[in-house]
Chain A
């Protein structure tokens, strides 16, 4: 009995030794930063001069900062279009490529390839594709008699260009997640529904969609977190322009914090953005729970 206790103690010591590096890094780069995030937002930290506690000054300033709310409006516009389209397109692709047919694997691979590209490389390629005069997109449009816009330079189309590029980059991996989800739906559900005379749409509405709810929850949560933190594509494709219509909160935080070195103020902005992400994730959690249960 006592040797058992000794063994357990020895095991526990080994375990703590094994997790020490991870826990130290976790403390230094997650726990301390999370606690500091709130504290910094109440200071005027600017890297060079002394850090003072300024109470709610940053938050007061933030309320009157039109540019900050503009970036929120931009990213909200982006999310409202991007997130539903992202779910819809990847689900449709998954249902299409879940058929057992010759060559399906190749098509899946083709759709997955864009997700391998870095945001910067993808944006660079799309700058050229969306060139108003010599770009591929406008030249293809001219085949059908449409004069394409200057995608990245016009206020009406700049955000749509970013939506297009990010969709191109993200539907592939979500498609794979959805295919894994679809393959987890038991066949007997479809078979008994067919016997009961359910139409294809009914089968989707009452079997596929409810069965995929955990998958949709995962995809939508990741889309929300990613979409509200949009940066890379906006930075490379449009530099936030034209006229700030594609400037995002993370872009502004980056500029405020690391170009103008107003890190205290940038921390306050980051905190508000994190709060927004939290709220929308919770709403999403509620929505996906409130739907009627399966069968």
Chain B
């Protein structure tokens, strides 16, 4: 008994020193590990950036040179002059922005209806939309192409959808299938559910038309959700590759991802311009992220908790 108290007292006396030592050691290990991981994750960005600024002869040197002897912009010039990168950039921007606008408008319009308005088919229709989110894209790829090609009265088609090319080779072929994504509807509905309904009733008593209740009262309250949704829609639109490649044949309508792929395929040894092109393709999303980081994290946390 007595011995126990003594050893306990001894332990108490030595504890502070060993505990602080352990804490310091844990901190050191923590920072070493996290820094090594972060450097590994960041290294590809760093290396492509360095490569894009290096003079051509330094790109191919063994051993590798970590920093360029002088900074040159020739690769950026080359990327924009060998292929119309500016045009591709513009095309991608138009497509991504159109996708954002359509999804914000249609998504919040029907999200509001599903969350706030009473109608018989509310639950069944919403369930169908939700279930459709689970359908893998590969199932609808070829039939969607068929639907776009044989869309009645569009692009030289007759009423039966024959004779022309429909929406093929036009931006509509990319904008329309994604104009009101199920995710946008679901996301906006969840947000509208958190808003109180009494404002709606008050406005109705005052005789406010339904669309104005939505547009002037509720929509302005969803700005954070709209910001998050636009970021994700923009990123998806900007980064999409396979579908634009299927729909757009005209080189003048190519997106930046298609242009970059063609460039890296056709100019296989021009690593300088290739890295410059890749960085240009990443830049808009990177800027968006740095400006609106808060909304990015909120959006992913949302999918994590509600999904």
Contact = CB atoms under 8 A, between A and B. Distances in A.
8 contacts: A15-B117, A118-B257, A139-B63, A228-B136, A229-B138, A266-B142, A273-B138, A274-B135
Contact of A18 (B113, B135, B241, B261): B113
Interface of B: 27, 30-31, 33-35, 37-38, 41-45, 47-48, 51, 59-64, 106-107, 109-110, 112-114, 117-120, 122, 125, 129, 132, 134-147, 149, 176-177, 179-180, 182, 185, 204, 210-211, 214, 235, 238-239, 241-242, 246, 257, 260-261, 264-265, 271, 274-275, 277-279, 281-282, 285-286, 289, 293, 296-297, 300-301, 303-305, 307
Contact of A118 (B107, B110, B281): B281
Contacts of A125: 44-45, 47-48, 275, 278
A120 B241 contact: yes
Contact of A110 (B41, B117, B144): B41
Interface of A: prevailing SS: helix
Contacts of A22: 106-107, 109-110, 129, 180, 185
A110 B211 CA distance: 43
Given A29-B177, A176-B304, A257-B142, A96 B109 contact: no
A14 B210 contact: yes
Contacts of A254: 242, 246
Contact of B122 (A15, A96, A110, A281): A15
A16 B43 contact: no
Nearest to A30: B132
B300 A180 contact: yes
A266 B139 CA distance: 10
Contacts, number: 264
Interface of B: prevailing SS: helix
Interface in A247-264: 249-250, 253-254, 257-258, 263
Q: Which of A19, A129, A131, A236 is the most central at the interface, judged by chain B CB atoms within 10 Å of its CB?
A: A19
Interface of A: 7-8, 10-12, 14-16, 18-19, 21-23, 25-26, 28-30, 32-34, 36-37, 40, 45, 47, 93, 96-97, 99, 101, 103-104, 106-107, 109-114, 116-129, 131, 133-134, 136, 139, 142, 168, 172-173, 176-178, 180-181, 184, 215, 218, 225, 228-229, 231-232, 235-236, 239, 249-250, 253-254, 257-258, 263, 266-267, 270-271, 273-274, 277, 281
Contacts of A104: 34
A228 B136 CA distance: 10
Contact of A229 (B119, B136, B246, B286): B136
Given A37-B143, A133-B62, 14 more contacts: A11-B117, A11-B119, A12-B117, A15-B119, A34-B140, A37-B140, A40-B146, A121-B278, A125-B47, A172-B41, A180-B301, A218-B304, A270-B139, A273-B138
